[in-house]
Structures are given as structure tokens and as C-alpha cells.
Structure 1
Amino acid sequence: MTVEYLPSNQKRGKFMRYDTAVILKRYFLCERALVIGQAGWLSGIPYFDVKMILPKMLWEDAMTAHELRNRVYELRFPSRMLEIGDDQALVDLIQQSYNAPNPLAFVMGLSRVFKPALKQAFEDYLEMADVLGDGPTHRFLELAVREKEDQIQTLEKYVQHYLEKEDARSIETAMQWVEELREKLGEIGGIGIENCKGMEVRLSDQVFTPNEVPNRDDRFIPVRFYWPDIVDKSFPYGEGVKLQLRSAISHLNEIWAVENAGFILHEFAGELGWDFIYDAARWVYDESRHCTMGYERLKQWGFEESELPLGTYIFDSCKGKDPIYRLGMLFYFESKNIGKKPERIKSFAEFNDQVSQHDMDFDWADETIHTAYGKRWLSAILEKRGLNPKDYQKIKDECDRLVDDVLKSVTEEEVQQITQITENMVEKAKQLVTAERV
């Protein structure tokens, strides 16, 4: 007896549940590695604009990775395993790319190799995958494609800008690095639907570590202490114009928190795992928004970068220390300053300065989240190290001491310098107020 069957030649039957999980796992591993690398490079990138946009990008990448990870678990239920397996060469290549020879090379590796490769992989997957069987993946990957396109265009805009400013040797080195990345990615089969080739990837024998001395944009004034009252208790915090300037400069100088949050994301990614990376990516992004808030207020008031101080003293205080103190430093300053924000918000309302009020209001909301992050992850590290997870206050106390040690090292020349910078800013602000009234 011959058994007959209806034809089944529809393209949407190509990927089964497990096939889909294998592909999405590969994309997750790539996004995860890119998040860690972008975070680790934040203190090493001098370009202010790039230092501010990478946090948004790595946060978007983390959001995509989180969706991919959850979807893999759904498709593999009840298994919660997410091994690297056949994707080892691909992960190795991305991790090796952290050892870029200069900041331009790292940024170009993102804009010209890895982000385009991921965007193409997502598009290829969406073209072949079934919108009925795998509808949830379609939703977030379609968003991820749009984000990747925007990221590439934005990064390339800055690449073109800095190609005009960097010296010829740095540019040549960066170009060669990008070409090597592109060739290696091609050799292992790229980021696609098929498994990559199992091969050893070696671009550098170095083990990447984030910069402990931050690279800063030379358009700004490099200082350790960004306002006199940090090192001179007789200098008033200020009211009116002075309070507006002090608040904006404080926001701008949260650049240290951007760099520090990126540092700890990189350093604790392996020890604390994905949930930490996911929280830390948001932490990095939030700090970059706060920094940009201050920058935009100052620019709108008429200040140029050459008039603005960028300090390093908080970031400096953890140099050579266990990275647990960098996490503690973020927690320490978030919890230390959060109580002052409502009073500042009230003052700005009285000045009818809605933008400063708005920025401080959103800053306050973010910092309530961040204090929870600090408590959660400090406790987690302490517990992993066999210590009392409730002893995070000891870490905060040590952070207080570390900062105090740096404050004690201030020189008279530094006090005079930042006092003069501040007086110049206040004088210009008063002139702007007078001009506005005329």
C-alpha cells in the first residue's frame, strides 16, 4: 500500500527549534563580547563625542543580547546551558580585537568590521527565518538591525572626522588593523547562519586591561579637581549663576563615572556573569547621559570646550587598586550625593531654569537605580570571595579614604588654576546674563 503525503516545500520549514537556538546563541555571544570590549575601552578613548556615544551603543547591544539569550533559553527549554562550543573562534576574534593598537583602530574595527557583520547576520536570519514559528525573534532583531545601521553611520561620521586629525602613522596602523580583522573574520566564516570554522585566532599576545589613566579630549582643560570647593572648603558651593554652573560642571565631570562603570563592566564580566553585564551596561549609559546633560547646558549658555575643566581625581583614586573599589566608588558617590538632588531641583525651579531642573530630576531617578546596583553587586562580589555580603559599607569607607588621600595631594598651583578657571566661567556667565537683559 502506497502512503501519500501533501507536499511541504515552503521555505519557512527550514529552521527547527534547535537550529534556531544555535544561531541565536552565536549572535548573543558576539553581542556580549562586543559589549565588554566597548566598555573596557571607554577610559582609553580620548574623543569626547565617541566616549559619549559608545555607552548608548553598548547598552543597545546589551538589550539585544538580553533578548537573544532569553529566546535561546525558551527554544532550548528546559536546558539553561549556553556554551560557546563551535563559536569559540568567533568569540576569540572579538576578544582579541580589544588589543587594538590605538583608539582609532578600535573604533574602526567596530564601525567597519563587527557591527556591519552583525547587521548583515541579523538581516540574513530575518530573510530566512519563519515569522510564525519565531515571531518574537523577528520583533527584536528588526529593531537591532535599525540600531546597528544607526551605530555604523554615527561611528563612521566620527571616524571620518578623526581621520582628518590623526597623524599619518596612527591612521596607517588603524587601517592595517581593520584589514587584519576583516581577513580573520572571513577566514573563520564570518558571523552568519552557518557554524564558524574551528581554528586558533591570534592577533596579539597581550591581555587587554582598561586604562587606569584616562585618555581625555585635548579640547577641554585637563585638571584633577574640577571646582575649587572640592579642595578649598572656604569656597562656597554658590547660588544663582554659580549654582547653575557648579551643577552643569558636576554633570559634565561624571565622565569619570562613565569610564569607571565601563572599567568594572569589563573587569567583573567573567566573575559576575550576564546579569551584572546587563545592569552595568545600563549604568554606563546613564552616566554618559548625565555627562552630556552638563555639556549641553554649558554649550547652550555659550561656553566653549576650551573653557571647561575635565577632572580625574575620583578615577585616579582607584589606580592600582582591586577593581572592587571602582565599583565601590560608584556606589559611594551615588549614595553620598543623592540626598542633595531634591534641594537642587527646588532651587532650579525658583530660578525658572527648567533644563537644569529637568536634568537633575532625571539624574535623581537614575541614581536611585544605581544605588541598588551598587549594593547588589558589591554584595555579590563579597559573597563570591567568601566574605560577608553585608560588609559593603567597609568598601565604601575605604573609598572615602582613597579619595581623601588624593584630595590631600592637591598643590597650591592646582588650587590657583581651578579657582582661575572657575572665576573666568562665572565672569563670562554674568556677562551673558547682562547681555540677555539688554
Structure 2
Amino acid sequence: MTKTYLPGTERGKYMRYDTAVILKRLYLCEKELVISEAGWIPGIPYFDMKTILPKILWEDAMTANALRERVFELRFPSRILEVGEDQQLIDLIKQARLAPNALAFLSTLAHVFKPALLQAYVSYLSLADYIGDGPTYRFMNLAVEEKRRQIHEIRQLLERERARAGQAERDLAERWTNECKERLQAMGGIGLDTPQAAADQGEAGSGISSSASGEASPIASFVPEETPARDNRFTNVRFYWPDNVDPSFPYGEGFQLQLRSAVSHLNEIWAVENAGHVLYSFAEELGWEFIYDAARWVYDESRHCRMGYERLKSWGFEEAELPLGTYIYDSCKGQDPIYRLGMLFYFESKNIGKKLDRIKNFASMNDRTSQHDMDFDWADETIHTSYGKTWLSAALKKRGQDPDDYTEIKEVCESIVKRTVETATAEEKEQITAIANRMIAKVKAVQ
């Protein structure tokens, strides 16, 4: 007698373990892109991208975290996330950090890796089970929306910046992008199937190479820029306000306080760059939970920077009138990255109390925007203080030091900033005083 069974449907294509393998691959790709994006922030000169990329990497971290947690659910009770057969793919993403310039790096995001991830997500959603794997559907649909927007934003900026760049810079970016794209295509892209073993196609000295065996291959070291690249539309200086180097210059009251606060917010650009450097530098040492918190830290600092920028623009200032300083970031040059982490923690905890006073001051001036920005800034800084304690302690513990003793870190941070301030020349002091006085005079002229 022939046995008869009811037919299965397309919904049964991917079983639980198959799904976990795919989501693990996507998590690993997102994670490495977050690390790359953070490491490149100091080296990107374009102000708009320097403050947009933090949001992008935070979104990528949120997607990566959702993927990671879903993998753990599907593999319960195992919490092991091995690279395994995806090593060649992950190596390529790491190697792409070695881009010869910012245009090249951003171009690989916009034309290689993010489109490949977008296609992977779209393909997954078209084939996976929306019932059995329903939890994945929510965050992956959001990831599709975000990837489409990210690609548009980066390509739009690239189009503008390519027009300003020299031919040699554009050519380098194009060659690098094409090489990364060819390499990714050779291994089958970022897909639902295991990457194919690809022969080594890297050009000599290009930094793009891989292991056909799928084992980890040697990767040249990428190091975030120690001297931050800056947008020449602004007035780029070391010290962004006279009181950085001249204690007798008043912080100011009334509109001068509004102005000084906005310039201070704008100059949290150093914290954006520093937080990116910190995320990259400690990613391997402190692991995913750190990366996830640090991504939010980078994003928050970029929001604070944009707060000041938008207020200054609303008051009629052009970019050329605005000073962007580097002295705090500069002070950590050549230092162990733990002092960059300490510097973020030190300044967060040092200044948080002043923000409550500023909120009251702006309320009394009926400046709702400055009050609003400082209010949200204060909330962010309370979170950052927790980040600082948690991860500075973790870093100290990893190094065999007392995780609860920040004395040496704080002393070094104070010392290196003080030494940097002491190097201010008479010309620099005159320059920033003139910039500040022109800004003050401009406000007075329209009152």
C-alpha cells in the first residue's frame, strides 16, 4: 500500500540551524563594518559625513546586535559565534579599511558592502519563513530601510566631494572600489550561501589579499588618524575659543553664553573623532558589548556637535566663521588608547554638573532651542559616565590593574591637555581671540 503524505510548502526552506548560519554571517559583516566606520571617522575631512557616519554605524550596531541575539536564540543553549567558513569574507571587510583615502573608503561602503548587505536582507526576507522566523522579520525590514537610506546619503555626499577632489584622488578611489567589488563578487558576494573560495586577486601593495583555504590571512594594520582630517569650509584651529588658552577671557553671559555654548557643542567634533578611535582601538580587546555601547557613544557625540552647528547656522553664521578646534584630540597623540577612553570619561564627568546650570540660564533667556539641546545633552552624558566607568574598568582589569582606580588615568589626561595648552603660541591666541570677537560683534550688530 502506497503511503500518502500532505505536501510541504516553500516556508520550510530554511530550518533553525540553517537560519542561524545565515544570520551569523550577516552579524559578522555588520560588526566589522561598524569597527571600520568608527576607525575612519578621524580620517574623514567632510563635516557632514563626519557627523552622519556615526548615526550610520550606530544603526549598523543595532542591526548587528539584533542578528547576534537571534542567532543565540536559534542555537540555544550555545553562545559561540565562530567565524568559520566566513573568514575570507570577513578578511575582505577588514582589508577594505586600508583604503588610500576617505573617498575610497566611503565609496566601498556606498557601492560595495552596503548594497551587498541590502541585497542579502532582501533575499532573506523573500525566502525565509515569516511565521517560524517572525522575530527576524521586524528588525530585518528596518535594516532594509536603513541600508537604502544610508546608501543614498553616502552616494549623495560622494558626488559632491568627488567634484571637489583632484583627479588622482578620484582615480585612487575608483580603483580601490572596483578591486573590492571584484573580490567580493569572486566569493559570491554577501549572500545566503557560504562564500566561495576565491583565488588571490590582490594587486601587489594594494592591501587586498585573501586566503583561498578560508583560513585567516595576514592583514596589514589599519590605525585611525592621530591628526584629525578637517573640512576646509570651516576655520580650522587648535584652540576653538579664547578661554581654552586665556583664563581671563570671560565665558560670558546673555547672548555671549548662548554663543559660547553653541561653539562648545560644535567642537564636540573632537569627542566624535575620539570616540571613533576608542571604539576601533578596543573592539577586539573588549568585545561586542563594548562595541555596542561605544557605537551609541559615537552617535551621541555627533548629535551634540550637530546641535551647536544647527544653532549657529540659525543665528546667521557661515561655516567660514566657525572655529573647529583639535587640541583635546591632539593631546592624546602617541598615547596609549586607554587615555583616549579616559579623556572621554574625564570630560563627561567633569562638565556634567555645569549643564544643569546652563539649562536654567537658557530657560531664563527664553532660548528654548539651547535649553532643549542642553537638556538632551545632559541625559546623554549621564549614560556616557556609566559607559566610561564600565569600560575603563574593564580595560584596566584586562591589563592586570585595579579596575576601580582611575587616579593615574585622570592625572595623565589632565597633564597631557595642560601640556598641549601650554604650547599655544601668541599668534594662535590672537587668532582665536579675533575669531571670537568677530562672532560676538556680528551678534551685537543684529540686536
Q: What TM-score comes out, normalization by structure 2 length?
A: 0.95
Deviates more, 1:366-375 or 1:389-398: 389-398
Q: Report if the CA contact (8 A) 1:108-1:174 is conserved.
A: yes
Q: Residues 263-311 of structure 1: CA distance to partner in whole angstroms, max 9, x if unpaired?
A: 0100100000000000000000000000000000000100001001000
Q: How large is the Cα RMSD of the aligned pairs?
A: 1.0
Matches within 5 A, 1:231-250: 231-250=245-264
Matches within 5 A, 1:152-163: 152-163=151-162
Distance 1:409 1:158 in 2: 36
Identify which of 416, 419, 427 aligns with 1:405.
419
Q: Unpaired segments of 5 or more residues in structure 1?
A: 434-438
Q: Report if the CA contact (8 A) 1:88-1:198 is conserved.
A: no
Q: Secondary structure at the match of 1:164?
A: helix
Q: Report if the CA contact (8 A) 1:223-1:311 is conserved.
A: yes
Is the counterpart of residue 321 in structure 1 residue 320 in structure 2? Answer: no
Q: Report if the CA contact (8 A) 1:89-1:200 is conserved.
A: no
Is the counterpart of residue 225 in structure 1 residue 236 in structure 2? Answer: no
Is the counterpart of residue 213 in structure 1 residue 212 in structure 2? Answer: no
Distance 1:198 1:28 in 2: 20
Matches within 5 A, 1:192-203: 192-199=191-198, 203=206
Task: Find the counterpart in structure 2 of residue 388 from structure 1.
Answer: 402
Distance 1:21 1:396 in 2: 44
Distance 1:307 1:154 in 2: 26
CA-CA distance at 1:64 after TM superposition: 0.1
Q: Unpaired segments of 5 or more residues in structure 2?
A: 208-218
Is the counterpart of residue 76 in structure 1 residue 75 in structure 2? Answer: yes
Q: Residues 314-359 of structure 1: CA distance to partner in whole angstroms, max 9, x if unpaired?
A: 0001000000000000000000000000110111111111100000
Q: Report if the CA contact (8 A) 1:44-1:215 is conserved.
A: yes
Identify which of 319, 330, 350 aligns with 2:344.
330
Q: Residues 99-124 of structure 1: CA distance to partner in whole angstroms, max 9, x if unpaired?
A: 00110011111011100100000000
Is the counterpart of residue 420 in structure 1 residue 429 in structure 2? Answer: no
Distance 2:407 2:311 in 1: 35
Matches within 5 A, 1:88-99: 88-99=87-98
Task: Find the counterpart in structure 1 of residue 265 from structure 2.
Answer: 251
Identity among equivalent positions (%) equals 63
Q: Report if the CA contact (8 A) 1:86-1:198 is conserved.
A: no
CA-CA distance at 1:199 after TM superposition: 4.4
Task: Find the counterpart in structure 2 of residue 350 from structure 1.
Answer: 364
Runs of 4+ in 1 over 3 A off after TM superposition: 198-203
Q: Report if the CA contact (8 A) 2:39-2:224 is conserved.
A: yes
Distance 1:185 1:392 in 2: 44
Distance 2:424 2:152 in 1: 43
Is the counterpart of residue 108 in structure 1 residue 100 in structure 2? Answer: no
200 and 427 in structure 1: CA distance in 2 versus 1, 3 angstrom threshold? farther
Matched to 2:431, the amino acid is Q
Q: How many residues align?
A: 432
Q: Secondary structure at the match of 2:94?
A: helix
Deviates more, 1:313-322 or 1:384-393: 384-393
Q: Report if the CA contact (8 A) 1:258-1:284 is conserved.
A: yes
CA-CA distance at 1:206 after TM superposition: 3.2
Matched to 1:423, the amino acid is N
Task: Find the counterpart in structure 2 of residue 33 from structure 1.
Answer: 32
CA-CA distance at 1:222 after TM superposition: 1.2
Task: Find the counterpart in structure 2 of residue 151 from structure 1.
Answer: 150
Q: Residues 177-236 of structure 1: CA distance to partner in whole angstroms, max 9, x if unpaired?
A: 111111000001100000002347654163110000000000111111111111111111
Matched to 1:163, the amino acid is R
Q: Residues 387-423 of structure 1: CA distance to partner in whole angstroms, max 9, x if unpaired?
A: 1101123212210111111111111111111000000
Distance 2:343 2:59 in 1: 25
Task: Find the counterpart in structure 2 of residue 122 from structure 1.
Answer: 121
Distance 1:335 1:200 in 2: 52
Distance 1:93 1:432 in 2: 55
Distance 1:367 1:285 in 2: 12
Q: What TM-score comes out, normalization by structure 1 length?
A: 0.97
Distance 1:237 1:253 in 2: 15
